[in-house]
Structure 1
Amino acid sequence: MTIKTNKRAKYTYLTLQLLPTEKEREALQTTWNNYKEACNTFSRTKYWKLAREKHMDVSACKKEYLKSARALAQRLLHGVYEISIRHTVKMAYKRQESDKKLALIVFGEYDEKNIKHLTIPYLRKPTFNIDFAKKMCCLDLVDGFQHIAFTLLEGIPEPPASWEAIEVYLQPIYGTWYLTLMFPNPTANMDVSPDTNIVGIDRGEINIATTYSLDKGAKRYSAEDYSLPCEGGTKDDYHKNLFAKDVIVAKEIVERESPDTIFVLEDLHFNKLRKGWSYRNFSDAFIYLAALRHQCVFFCDPRNTSRTCPKCGEVTNTKRNRDEHRFICRSCGYGEKEIVNDDENAAENIYLRGRKELLKDDV
Structure 2
Amino acid sequence: MKTNERAKYIYLTLQLLPTEKEREALQMTWDNYKKACNTFSRIKYLKLAKGKHMDVSACKKEEPKSARALAQRLLHAVYENSIKYTVEEAYKNQEDSKKLALIVFGEYDETNVKLLAIPYFRKPTFTVDFSTKKCRLDLAKNFQKIAFTIPKGLPEPPESWEVKRAYLKLIYGTWYLTLGFSNPTIKTEVKPDAHIVGIDRGEINIATTYSPDKGAKRYSAKDYYTSCKGGTKDDYHKNLFAKDVIVAQEIVERESPDTIFVLEDLHFNKLRKGWSYRNFSDAFIYLAALHHQCVFFCDPRNTSRTCPKCGEVTNTKRNRDEHRFICCSCGYGEKEIVNDDENAAENIYLRGRKELLKDDF
TM-score by length of 2: 0.98
User: Could you report, residue by residue, the CA deviation over 1:273-294 in whole angstroms, capped at 9, with x for unpaired residues?
Assistant: 0110000000111111111111
Distance across 2 between alignment mates of 1:327 and 1:79: 55
Q: Secondary structure at the match of 1:188?
A: coil
Distance in 1 separating the partners of 2:62 and 2:256? 56
> Which residue number in structure 1 is paired with residue 124 of structure 2?
126
The aligned counterpart of 1:40 is 38
**Cα distance per residue 1:301-333 (max 9 Å; x no partner):** 111111111111111111111111111111111
| Matches of 2:308 and 2:95, distance apart in 1 | 35
Report the TM-score, using the length of structure 1 for normalisation: 0.98
Shift of 1:105: 0.6
Contact map agreement 1:69 1:82 (CA 8 A) in 2: yes
1:102-128 per-position Cα deviation (integer Å, ceiling 9, x unaligned): 110100101111011000001111000
* Distance change >3 Å, CA 24–CA 289, structure 1 → 2: same
Would you say 1:218 and 2:216 are equivalent positions?
A: yes
Query: How far off is 1:299 after superposition?
Result: 0.6
Match of 2:281 among 277, 280, 283: 283
Q: Shift of the alpha carbon at 1:94? A: 2.0
Alignment of 1:170-185 (within 5 A): 170-185=168-183
Q: Is the 8 A contact 1:39 1:88 kept in 2?
A: yes
Does residue 21 of structure 1 match 2:27? no
Counterpart Cα distance in 2 of 1:239 and 1:114: 20
Question: 2:227 maps to which residue?
Answer: 229
Q: CA deviation at 1:99?
A: 8.4
In 2 relative to 1, CA 330–98 (structure 1 residues): closer, same or farther, beyond 3 Å?
A: same
CA deviation vs aligned residue, 1:193-240 (integer Å, no higher than 9, x gap): 121100000000000000000110000000000111211110000000
| Alpha-carbon distance in 1 for matches of 2:231, 2:97 | 38
1:238 match: 236
Task: State the one-letter code of the partner of 2:219.
Answer: Y
Deviation per residue, 1:61-84 (Å, 9 max, x gap): 114430111111111111111111
Q: Which amino acid aligns with 1:70?
A: R
Aligned identity (percent) is 82
Q: Is the 8 A contact 1:166 1:183 kept in 2?
A: yes
Residues 48 and 63 of structure 1 are in contact (CA less than 8 Å); yes or no, is this contact kept in structure 2? no
* Partner of residue 323 from structure 1, selected from 312, 318, 321: 321
Q: Could you say if the C-alpha distance between residues 99 and 349 of structure 1 is closer, same or farther in structure 2, counting changes exceeding 3 Å? A: farther
Query: What is the CA-CA distance between 1:356 and the residue it aligns to?
Result: 0.7
Q: Which residue of 1 aligns with 2:347?
A: 349
Are the equivalent residues in 2 in contact too, given 1:45–1:64 (CA < 8 A)? no
Counterpart-to-counterpart distance in 2, 1:208 and 1:100: 35
The residue type paired with residue 319 of structure 1 is K
Decide whether the 8 Å contact of 2:22 with 2:144 is kept in 1: yes
Contact 1:262 1:298 in 2 (8 A): yes
Amino acid at match of 1:141: L
> 2:154 and 2:24 mapped to 1: Cα distance?
28
SS at 1:183 equivalent: strand
Query: Unmatched 5+ residue regions in structure 1?
Result: none
Q: How has the CA–CA distance of structure 1 residues 199 and 121 changed in structure 2, closer, same or farther, with 3 Å as cutoff? A: same
What letter is aligned with 1:250?
Answer: A
Report if the CA contact (8 A) 1:136-1:147 is conserved. Answer: yes
Instruction: Report the Cα distance in structure 2 between the residues aligned to 1:189 and 1:64, rounded to whole angstroms.
Output: 50
Q: Aligned runs of 1:187-266 on 2, under 5 Å?
A: 187-266=185-264
Distance 1:334 1:71 in 2: 61
Cα drift, residue 97 of structure 1: 2.4
Contact kept, 8 Å, 1:129 with 1:137, in 2: the verdict is yes
Match of 2:147 in 1: 149
Q: CA offsets per residue over residues 144-202 of structure 1, 9 Å max, x none?
A: 00000000001010000011111100011000000000011000121111211000000
CA distance in 2, matches of 1:51, 1:98: 11
Question: Does the residue aligned with 2:58 lie in a helix, a strand or coil?
Answer: coil
State the secondary structure of the residue aligned to 1:348: helix
Deviates more, 1:187-196 or 1:16-25: 187-196
Q: Give the Cα–Cα distance (whole angstroms) in 1 for the partners of residues 97 and 242 of structure 2.
A: 34
Counterpart AA for 1:165: V
Deviation of 1:16 after TM superposition, in Å, equals 0.1
Q: Distance in 2 between matches of 1:107 and 1:192?
A: 41
Aligned residues: 361
Task: State the distance in 2 between where 1:182 and 1:100 align.
Answer: 34
Q: Which of the residues 100, 103, 111 maps onto 1:102?
A: 100
More off after superposition, 239-248 vs 223-232: 223-232
* Counterpart AA for 1:145: F
| 2:39 and 2:63 in contact (8 A); partners too | no
Q: CA RMSD in A?
A: 1.0
Q: 1:100 deviation in Å?
A: 6.2
Distance 1:126 1:100, change over 3 A: farther
